[in-house]
């Protein structure tokens, strides 16, 4: 076709599956008249530097509903996708304070108010002796807050997530790096996204079904 002359090699047509483009595969829901439910478009990379650069460019392009996937944490990546996430430290702090105050006042209430007993001539409010347990309660509650907070904020456990449908996604836990632009991003236009992601230096770009 005449327009094809201007297409880049990796541009593709829905009708012509080419090696670089993978259909949203799998279930039969997607075939037919309506487009299959699309979660987003995933690009697969070889190394972290390319991924981070790609993420930055994606963010600059104005995409916001984006995410990166890697086999190990990459500090620059979360910056690049514009994620700050300072909720967790606050949760931990509150957990610690609640634990500490709770621990101390538990001891205080039990030894001073509810059932005071003369134990070796020590004062009822033996606050120096209450310190170790107070400290431990602080640490315990803060630790629980950290873990539970992290899991809850991450919405884990979550056995199923659409990205698992991406091809080769199993390698996200080995040596591949991924970037996705979700379909519900306000700027998401499938064709444009596909095209844009083709410019990022990925090994592969594919649709991901929900």
Partner 1 sequence: MMALGQPVNTIYDFSKADRILSLDADFLAILPGTLRYARNFAARRRITEGKHEMSRLYVIETTPTTTGASADHQWSVKPTEMENAALAIATGLGVKGVPSAPSTSGLEAIARDLQQHKGASIVIAGKEAPPDVHALAHAMNDALGNVGKTVFYTDPVEANSVDQRQSLQELISDIDGGRVEMLVIVGGNPVYNTPADLKLDKDRMFKTKLRVHLSQYRDETSELCHWHIPESHYLEAWSDTRSYDGTVTIVQPLIEPLYQSKSAHELLAVFTPQYDRKPYDIIRDYWQHQGQAAGAGGSQQQGASPVATPSADFESWWRKCVHDGFVPNTALRTRSASVNPGGLSQPNAGGTPAVPGGSPTVREGSNSGTFELVFRTDPTIYDGRFANNGWLQELPKPLSKLTWDNAALVSPNTAKQLGLEKTIGRKGGDIYVDTLKITYQGRTFTDPVPTWITPGQPDGVITVHLGYGRKRAGRVGNNHGFNAYEIRTSDSPWSASGVQVEKAGVQHLLAVTQLHFMLEDRNFSKEDRDVLRSQTLEEYLKGTPAGETHDPPPDDTLYHPELFDYQNQGNGLNYAWGMAIDLNNCVGCNACTIACQSENNIPVVGKEQVVRSREMHWIRVDTYFKGEDANNPEATNFMPVPCMHCENAPCEPVCPVHATVHSAEGLNDMVYNRCVGTKYCSNNCPYKVRRFNFFLYQDWETPTYQLMRNPEVTVRSRGVMEKCTYCVQRIQGAKIQSELEGRKVRDGEIVTACQAVCPTEAIVFGDVNDPNSRVSRLKAEQRNYSLLAELNTKPRTTYLSALRNPNPEIK
Partner 2 sequence: MPIEAHNEGPIHTTAPVAPGLTFASVTDKISSIVLKRKTPVGWFIGFAISFVLFQLLLLTITKLLFEGIGLWGVNIPVAWGMDILNFVWWIGIGHAGTLISAILLLLRQQWRTSINRFAEAMTLFAVAQAGMYPLMHLGRPWLAYWLFPYPNTMGIWPQFRSPLMWDVFAVSTYATVSAIFWFVGLIPDFATLRDRARSKPFQIVYGMLAMGWRGSARHWHRYEMAYLLLAGLATPLVLSVHTIVSLDFAVGIIPGWHATIFPPYFVAGAIYAGFAMVLLLTIPLRKVYGLESFITMRHMHNMAKVMLATGLIVGYGYIIEAFFGWYSGNRYERYMIWNRMHGPYAYYYWALILCNIITPQFLWIKKIRSNLLVLWLISIVVSIGMWLERFVIVVTSLHRDFLPSSWGMYQPSTWDWTMFIGTIGFFFTLLFLFLRFLPMISIFEMRTILPGAEVEE
CA distances from 182 to 102, 155, 158 (A): 43, 18, 18
144 makes contact with partner 2 (CB under 8 A): yes
Stretch of 28-36, 67-75, 184-192, 197-205 contacting partner 2, by CB under 8 A: 67-75
User: Is 100 within 8 Å of 137 (Cβ atoms)?
Assistant: yes
Stretch of 8-16, 17-25, 31-39, 173-181 contacting partner 2, by CB under 8 A: 173-181
Pick one of 114, 118, 121, 186: the residue that binds partner 2 (CB under 8 A): 114
Give the binding-site size for partner 1 (rule: CB under 8 A): 8
Task: Give the rounded distance of the alpha carbon of 141 from its chain centre.
Answer: 24
106 makes contact with partner 2 (CB under 8 A): yes
Which residues, in sequence order, are CB contacts of 14 under 8 Å at separation 6+? none
163 makes contact with partner 2 (CB under 8 A): yes
Task: Report which of 167, 166, 204, 179 is spatially closest to residue 61, judged by C-alpha positions.
Answer: 179
> C-beta of 169: minimal distance to partner 2 in Å?
8
């Amino acid at each position: 076709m005449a327009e094809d002359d201007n297409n880049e090699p990796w541009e593709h047509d829905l009708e012509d599956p080419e090696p670089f483009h993978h259909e949203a595969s799998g279930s039969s829901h997607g075939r037919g008249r309506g487009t299959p439910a699309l979660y987003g478009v995933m690009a697969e990379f070889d190394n972290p530097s390319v991924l981070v650069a790609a993420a930055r460019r994606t963010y600059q392009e104005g995409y916001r509903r984006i995410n990166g996937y890697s086999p190990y944490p990459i500090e620059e990546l979360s910056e690049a996708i514009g994620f700050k996430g300072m909720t967790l430290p606050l949760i931990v702090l509150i957990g610690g304070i609640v634990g500490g105050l709770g621990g101390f006042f538990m001891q205080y209430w039990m030894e001073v108010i509810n059932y005071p007993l003369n134990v070796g001539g020590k004062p009822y409010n033996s606050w120096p002796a209450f310190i170790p347990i107070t400290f431990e309660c602080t640490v315990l509650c803060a630790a629980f807050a950290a873990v539970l907070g992290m899991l809850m904020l991450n919405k884990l456990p979550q056995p199923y997530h659409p990205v698992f449908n991406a091809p080769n996604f199993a390698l996200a836990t080995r040596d591949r790096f991924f970037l996705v632009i979700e379909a519900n991003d306000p700027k998401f236009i499938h064709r444009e996204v596909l095209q844009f992601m083709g410019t990022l230096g990925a090994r592969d770009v594919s649709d991901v079904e929900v």
